[in-house]
């Protein structure tokens, strides 16, 4: 091999090394820029200030919207939500000076609900920008407290509305702010109207499996999982392709997480229509699963009146439920969607 060939080979190796080094340097620079804009944090520093807060965060308990901090940079999912004027009443609080997120977070502690009505918190960032979650190292010029007008506990009451006003005034006093909101009577009138509307759209359909003898809870749960039920929020549910429960299971009238005994005498299948996705075969699907379970568990399948279920009525009931799904949608409530679940809970 000549000196020229050797020189060309060495030159090629050097060029390859230079290209690799340049690519590594470019990749490292890009990563640094991304980290500056989207910092990665394994744990929210504001949620780990005490052992109790840390326990709540990792225990899988429900987090109320707007009352916890976001340390990441993904704003799209959080800030997409907004006040729903058809189902919520809002009290606005304008702060005299921008309030740091850490201080506002402390001021909002415990404001998850008033009475039986959930409260959502929205804020406006100093410099502009809507927020449905507080974030570290930001400041806010105003906050909105949005309370649900009605749910299955009934319409918003004067006591619940007064509790929200008290919370709003307390927050305003803490940060030298001003409170503005609607008068009580129009709010309560809207609440009664929403409650009446939803009462005509609400429906739950149940089937009961009356076991021939008491069975161990573990055996019954195993049979349910074998046919396709999955854990969901402390209960067992038959899931849709969208990951939403079509119908759930009760053991002697209790969800799985609330059962206190080892023996089961009755298993109920419950289709909560507003909280399940629309389905042209809503009842027949549940009835088919119920008949399969009846064979496996040596049980009798009964309707909600305690009568044996016959296959001849499945399609007729499907049609009735589909009509209710349609009425829900026409009223602005898509079955299974977050907005509908808030009202029908």
Tens digit of each residue's pLDDT (9 = 90 or more) over 194-218: 999 999 999 999 999 999 999 999 9
Among 168, 198, 228, identify where a domain stops.
Answer: 198
Q: Are 147 and 117 in contact (CB under 8 A)?
A: yes
Question: Is 20 domain-assigned?
Answer: no
Gap between the Cα atoms of 135 and 75, Å rounded: 10
Q: 68 in a domain, yes or no?
A: no
Cα dist from 47 to 51, 52, 56, 118, 125, whole Å: 9, 10, 9, 21, 20
Residue 126 has pLDDT above 80, yes or no: yes
pLDDT tens digits for 242-259?
899 999 999 998 888 788
Q: Flag whether pLDDT at 77 surpasses 50.
A: no
* End position of a domain, from candidates 179, 198, 217: 198
User: 318 and 280 in contact (C-beta within 8 Å)?
Assistant: yes
C-alpha of 117 from chain center:
15
pLDDT, position 49: 33
Whether residues 104 and 189 fall in one domain: yes
Res. 326 pLDDT band, cuts 50 70 90: very high
Which segments of the chain are extended strands (E)? 88-100, 113-114, 117-125, 130-131, 139-148, 150-151, 154-155, 177-180, 204-216, 230-232, 235-239, 245-251, 263-272, 299-302
Same domain, 306 and 247: yes
Provide the pLDDT confidence category of residue 67 given band limits of 50, 70 and 90: very low
Q: Is the pLDDT of residue 70 over 90?
A: no
Look at residue 52 and tell me if it is in a domain. no
- CATH assignment of the domain containing 330: 3.30.1400.10
Q: Which of 197, 206, 227 is nearest to 294 (CA)?
A: 227
Query: Is a pLDDT exceeding 80 seen at residue 281?
Result: yes
- The answer to the question of residue 6 being in a domain is no
Specify whether 259 is located in the same domain as 288. Answer: yes
Domain boundary among 198, 217, 251: 198
Lowest mean pLDDT among 90-94, 106-110, 309-313: 309-313
Average pLDDT, rounded, for the chain? 83
Q: Please report the pLDDT score of residue 223 as a whole number.
A: 95
Is residue 46 assigned to a domain? Answer: no
pLDDT at 199: 95
Indicate if 149 and 247 belong to the same structural domain. no
The H-assigned helical ranges of 175-276 are: 184-199, 217-227
What's this model's pTM, rounded to 2 decimal places? Answer: 0.73
Average pLDDT over residues 274-282: 96
Question: Are residues 190 and 236 part of one domain?
Answer: no
Residues 163 and 213 in one domain: no
**Least confident span in 6-15, 162-171, 292-301:** 6-15
- Token readout for 229 is 């039920």
Q: Tell me the CATH number at 96.
A: 3.30.1400
Same domain, 247 and 303: yes
pLDDT in tens, 19-62: 666 555 554 443 343 333 333 333 332 333 333 333 223 323 32
Q: What pLDDT digit, counting tens, does each position of 12-25 carry?
A: 777 777 666 655 55
- The total number of structural domains in the chain stands at 2
Q: Are residues 209 and 339 in the same domain?
A: yes
- For residues 183 and 170, what is the distance between their CA atoms, to the nearest angstrom? 18
Same domain, 272 and 167: no
Q: Is residue 232 part of a domain?
A: yes
Phi and psi angles of residue 200, each rounded to the nearest 5 degrees, phi first:
-80, -10
Are 164 and 256 contained in the same domain? no
Same domain as 337, residue 233: yes
Lowest mean pLDDT among 6-15, 155-164, 252-261: 6-15
One domain for residues 234 and 103: no
Domain assignment of residue 225, given as a range: 204-343
- How far is it, in rounded angstroms, from Cα 161 to Cα 129? 28
Within-domain flag for 136: yes
């Amino acid at each position: 091999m000549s000196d020229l060939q050797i020189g060309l080979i060495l030159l090629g190796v050097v060029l390859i090394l230079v290209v690799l080094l340049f690519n590594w340097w470019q990749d490292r620079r890009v990563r640094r820029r991304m980290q500056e804009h989207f910092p990665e944090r394994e744990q929210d520093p504001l949620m780990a200030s005490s052992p109790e807060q840390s326990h709540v965060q990792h225990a899988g308990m429900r987090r109320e919207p707007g009352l916890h901090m976001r340390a990441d940079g993904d704003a799209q999912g959080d800030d997409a939500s907004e006040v729903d004027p058809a189902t919520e009443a809002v009290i606005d609080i304008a702060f005299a000076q921008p309030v740091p997120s850490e201080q506002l977070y402390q001021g909002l502690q415990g404001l998850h609900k008033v009475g039986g009505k959930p409260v959502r918190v929205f804020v406006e960032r100093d410099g502009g920008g809507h927020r449905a979650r507080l974030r570290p190292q930001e400041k806010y010029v105003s906050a909105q407290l949005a309370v649900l007008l009605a749910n299955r506990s009934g319409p918003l009451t004067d006591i619940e509305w007064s509790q929200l006003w008290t919370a709003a005034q307390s927050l305003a006093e803490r940060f030298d702010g001003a409170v503005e909101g609607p008068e009580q009577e129009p709010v309560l009138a809207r609440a009664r109207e929403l409650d009446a509307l939803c009462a005509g759209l609400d429906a739950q359909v149940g089937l009961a499996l009356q076991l021939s003898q008491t069975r161990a809870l573990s055996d019954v749960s195993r049979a349910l999982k074998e046919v396709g039920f999955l854990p969901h929020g402390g209960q067992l549910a038959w899931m849709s392709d969208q990951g939403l429960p079509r119908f759930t299971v009760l053991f002697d009238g209790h969800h799985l997480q609330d059962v206190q005994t080892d023996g089961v005498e009755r298993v109920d299948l419950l289709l909560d229509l507003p909280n399940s996705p629309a389905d042209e075969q809503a009842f027949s699907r549940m009835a088919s699963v119920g008949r399969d379970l009846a064979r496996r568990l040596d049980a009798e399948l009964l309707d909600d009146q305690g009568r044996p279920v016959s296959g001849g009525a499945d399609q007729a009931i499907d049609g009735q439920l589909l009509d209710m799904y349609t009425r829900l949608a026409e009223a602005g409530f898509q079955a299974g969607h977050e907005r509908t679940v808030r009202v029908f809970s």
